[in-house]
């Protein structure tokens, strides 16, 4: 073996990407992402980075196209992928909650969500017979417009809820960004991944 | 009417089918050389709600209103065969049975994420014996299977017995064990800590110590040093015995460099009782095979592994030489064709008895030579290998053409 193997990392576009790069650098990876526009897949020095929508990260890591990645626990659970998730990075903290118009009391008949799997699991758990509608855009709109009488969505500060006269009725789960690893890579690229995992865990806010 | 096969099934065309037969043949030969006899079991099984994969099995209704299931796993089927044909072994007699199998299994699952519903497995079982030498033999053959198809093996080896002992010591109630084992298997310390915090029981000092040990298990992976770490994490006799068991298996290997330990492997905790493993190869992100020891689950003593043939083929694809050559000769001369076939040459029988039509037929098939009246004639526009004609002619001269018919 000539030094640790090179890693390919799957990172979600947007703010989580910047925070992910920050913690990966703090953990000792030299990552040069250049400025301005970047290719979808590029060599960033100590690792190759591929950028994608957060919901696709579990697929890329599960099939081993990426050795590791960063993804929210909520998205990971919704994907149903079984990945190794050795570090809770702590950032992008949010709740996945059941939301209704303020003061609504009737039985919930229809729930709209970007998280149909977790929503259905939750409704089964609480014994509700409500139907689930999968949406991909602004879910609050479903409640405001009357498409559904409740939604399951991510709540970070709650400001959007207040602005739309909605309220958080129940919390399904608490989420934060996880460092996820392909099971084969953990064994094949142990020399590169083990120290990275240890270093990420040592950062403030990580567990 | 669709010409496509049902979701999650596929056609296999000649090149791929030939590669598959070659890989299966190679592995069968390897297991045979180690004394594993080939057995067959029915693809139609009586539906059994206690079957480990019953939730994933296709069910069919039988004529008498009974329910059948398509084979979803070879191991339970082989266990049935042992009960039927070797009741003494099924009853606990220590007599080794070495069996290999190959065939199709069906899983009634959503055909998502690159998973098929109909696939081929090849594997082996060593039944009727439970010791470190038997574990090592299985592990060795798993590693050799990967090597035999030209891939570099890397095995992860664990022992779910270690996690089971810690769960016992931590007085974890039955309904919480699977959740905890799952978090350990995913190395998810956050989930594990949260779950442990809400798990009742375990006020005794020993249980408290076992809970701390459980939190350390996700990090017990790596080289041989892991055994020492595990001993330090759980320094009580029942846990030490599980570490010893793994150490005993590793001691059987002259070169354990391709083995990596992972004591957090804890899936199917109620099924696997001893050493478990999966095999990987560089630049391929999914396991090639998996197996382990499952004493008491289906039979008193048994261990084995199974290989997903399609996945193995996918991993070997990049490393294989050119596909099998097309047939080399189109024959109008049956006795001469037989001589070439006996020498291993692929010879197709012409469908036209007219030489001119046979020439066209050979061109269409891209076969480089026509065999007419004991002589080879190159086919226009179809490239042949250097010296191939002389070589084939040599084979024809070596044996007198005799007999008749195709």
- Is the confidence at residue B27, as pLDDT, over 70? yes
Q: Which of A71, A72, A86, A189 to mutate to test the interface with B (most CBs of B within 10 A)?
A: A86
Minimal Cα–Cα distance from B405 to chain A, Å? Answer: 53
Closest CB from A81, A85, A190 relative to B187: A85
DSSP string of A11-59?
A: EESSHHHHHHHHHHHHTT--B---SS---SEEE-BSEEEEEE-GGGHHH
pLDDT, tens digit, 9 for 90 and up, residues B307-360: 999 999 999 886 655 556 789 999 999 999 999 999 989 999 999 999 999 999
The topology under which CATH files domain A94-175 is: D-Maltodextrin-Binding Protein; domain 2 (3.40.190)
Confidence of residue B65 (pLDDT cuts 50, 70, 90): confident
CB–CB of B222 and A84 under 8 A?
no
Assess whether the region A7-92+176-201 and the region A94-175 belong to the same CATH fold. Answer: yes
| Residue B159 and residue B242 in contact, taking contact as beta carbons nearer than 8 Å | yes
Instruction: Quote the pTM value.
Output: 0.87
Best of A183, A194, A198 to mutate (most B CBs within 10 Å, chain B): A183
Indicate the average pLDDT of chain B: 91
Q: How far apart are CA A57 and CA A81, in angstroms?
A: 10
- Ranges of residues in chain A whose predicted pLDDT is under 70: 1-3, 35-37
Percentage of chain B with pLDDT > 90? 80
- What are the residue ranges spanned by the domains of chain B? 1-152+287-324, 160-273, 329-398
Subunit contact B218:A86, Cβ cutoff 8 A: yes
DSSP code string of B172-209? --HHHHHHHHHHHHTT-HHHHHHHHHT-----SHHHHH
How far apart, in whole angstroms, are the C-alpha atoms of residue B321 and residue B123?
25
Give the per-residue pLDDT at B208: 87
Which CATH architecture best describes the domain A7-92+176-201?
A: 3-Layer(aba) Sandwich (3.40)
Flag if A190 and B222 touch (Cβ within 8 Å).
yes
At CA A183, angle to CA B265 and CA B195, rounded to 5? 50
Give the pLDDT confidence of B132-161 residue by residue, as tens digits: 999 999 999 999 999 999 999 999 999 999
A188, closest residue in chain B (CA to CA): B282
pLDDT digits (tens, 9 = 90+) for B216-271: 999 999 999 999 999 999 999 999 999 999 999 999 998 888 999 999 999 888 88
Same fold, B1-152+287-324 and B160-273: yes
Residue among A59, A62, A85 minimizing CB distance to B186: A85
**Taking CB atoms and an 8 Å limit, are A187 and B186 in contact across chains?**
no
Q: Mutation test of the interface with chain A: which of B112, B152, B186, choosing the one with the most A Cβ atoms within 10 A?
A: B186
Taking an 8 Å cut-off on Cβ atoms, the answer to whether A184 and B222 are in contact is no
Q: What's the rounded Cα separation, in Å, for the pair B244 and B258?
A: 20
Q: Please state, in angstroms and rounded to a whole number, the distance separating the CA atoms of residues B234 and B209.
A: 8
Asked if the Cβ–Cβ distance from B286 to A84 is below 8 Å, we say no
* Contact state of A184 with B280 under an 8 Å Cβ cutoff: yes
pLDDT-derived band at B112, boundaries 50, 70, 90:
low
B1-152+287-324 in CATH: which number?
3.30.930.10
Residue B404 pLDDT > 60: no
CATH architecture of residue range(s) B160-273? 2-Layer Sandwich (3.30)
ipTM of the complex, rounded to two decimals: 0.92
CB contact under 8 A, B189 and A62: no
Closest-CA residue of B relative to A90 is: B190
Contact A207 B189 (CB under 8 A): yes
Annotated domain spans of chain A: 7-92+176-201, 94-175
- Chain B interface residues facing chain A, Cβ-Cβ under 8 Å? 113-114, 154, 156, 186-190, 193, 218, 221-222, 260, 262, 278, 280-282, 284-287
Helix then strand then coil, in percent of chain B rounded to 5, is: 40, 20, 40
Percentage of chain B with pLDDT > 70? 94
Q: Is 80 exceeded by the pLDDT of residue B115?
A: no
């Amino acid at each position: 073996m000539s030094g640790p193997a090179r890693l390919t990392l799957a990172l979600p576009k947007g703010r989580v990407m910047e925070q992910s790069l920050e913690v990966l650098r703090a953990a000792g990876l030299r990552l040069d992402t250049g400025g301005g526009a970047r290719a979808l897949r590029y060599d960033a020095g100590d690792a190759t980075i591929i950028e994608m929508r957060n919901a696709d990260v579990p697929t890329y890591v599960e099939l081993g196209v990426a050795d590791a990645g960063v993804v929210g626990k909520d998205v990971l659970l919704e994907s149903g992928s079984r990945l190794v998730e050795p570090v809770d990075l702590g950032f992008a903290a949010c709740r996945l909650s059941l939301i209704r118009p303020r003061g609504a009391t009737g039985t919930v008949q229809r729930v709209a969500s970007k998280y149909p799997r977790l929503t259905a699991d939750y409704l089964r758990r609480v014994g509700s017979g409500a139907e689930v509608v999968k949406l991909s855009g602004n879910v609050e709109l479903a409640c405001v417009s009357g498409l559904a009488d409740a939604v399951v969505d991510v709540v970070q500060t709650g400001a959007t809820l207040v602005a739309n006269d909605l309220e958080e009725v129940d919390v399904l789960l608490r989420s934060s960004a996880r460092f996820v690893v392909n099971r084969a890579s953990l064994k094949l690229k142990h020399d590169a991944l083990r120290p990275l995992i240890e270093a990420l865990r040592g950062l403030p806010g990580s567990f | 009417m669709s010409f496509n096969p049902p979701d999650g099934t596929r056609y296999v065309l000649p090149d791929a089918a030939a590669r598959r037969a070659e890989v299966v043949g190679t592995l069968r030969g390897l297991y045979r050389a180690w004394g594993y006899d080939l057995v067959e079991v029915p693809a139609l099984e009586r539906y059994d709600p206690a079957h480990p994969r019953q939730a994933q099995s296709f069910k069919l209704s039988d004529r008498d209103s009974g329910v059948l299931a398509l084979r979803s796993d070879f191991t339970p089927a082989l266990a049935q065969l042992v009960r039927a044909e070797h009741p003494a072994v099924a009853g606990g007699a220590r007599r080794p049975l070495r069996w290999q199998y190959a065939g199709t299994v069906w899983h009634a699952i959503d055909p998502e994420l690159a998973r098929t519903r109909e696939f081929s497995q090849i594997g082996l079982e060593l039944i009727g014996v439970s010791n470190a030498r038997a574990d090592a033999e299985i592990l060795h053959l798993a590693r050799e299977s990967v090597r035999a198809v030209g891939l570099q093996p890397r095995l992860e080896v664990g022992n779910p017995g270690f996690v089971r002992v810690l769960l016992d010591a931590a007085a974890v109630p039955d309904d919480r064990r699977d959740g905890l084992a799952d978090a350990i298997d995913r190395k998810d310390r956050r989930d594990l800590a949260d779950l442990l915090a809400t798990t009742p029981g375990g006020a005794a000092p020993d249980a408290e110590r076992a809970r701390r040990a459980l939190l350390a298990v996700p990090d017990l992976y790596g080289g041989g040093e892991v055994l020492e770490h595990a001993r330090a994490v759980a320094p009580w006799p029942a846990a030490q015995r599980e570490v010893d068991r793994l150490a005993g298996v590793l001691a059987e290997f002259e070169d354990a460099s391709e083995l990596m330990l992972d004591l957090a492997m804890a899936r199917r905790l109620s099924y696997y009782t001893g050493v478990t493993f999966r095999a990987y190869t560089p630049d391929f992100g999914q396991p090639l095979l998996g197996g382990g020891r499952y004493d008491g689950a289906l039979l008193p003593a048994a261990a084995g592994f199974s290989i997903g043939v399609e996945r193995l083929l996918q991993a070997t694809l990049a490393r294989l030489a050119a596909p099998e050559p097309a047939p080399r000769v189109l024959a109008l001369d049956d006795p001469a064709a037989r001589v070439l076939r006996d020498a291993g040459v692929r010879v197709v029988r012409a469908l036209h008895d007219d030489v001119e039509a046979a020439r066209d037929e050979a061109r269409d098939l891209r076969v480089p030579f026509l065999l007419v009246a004991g002589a080879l004639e190159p086919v226009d526009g179809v490239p042949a290998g250097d010296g191939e004609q002389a070589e084939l002619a040599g084979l024809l001269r070596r044996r007198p053409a005799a007999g008749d018919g195709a």
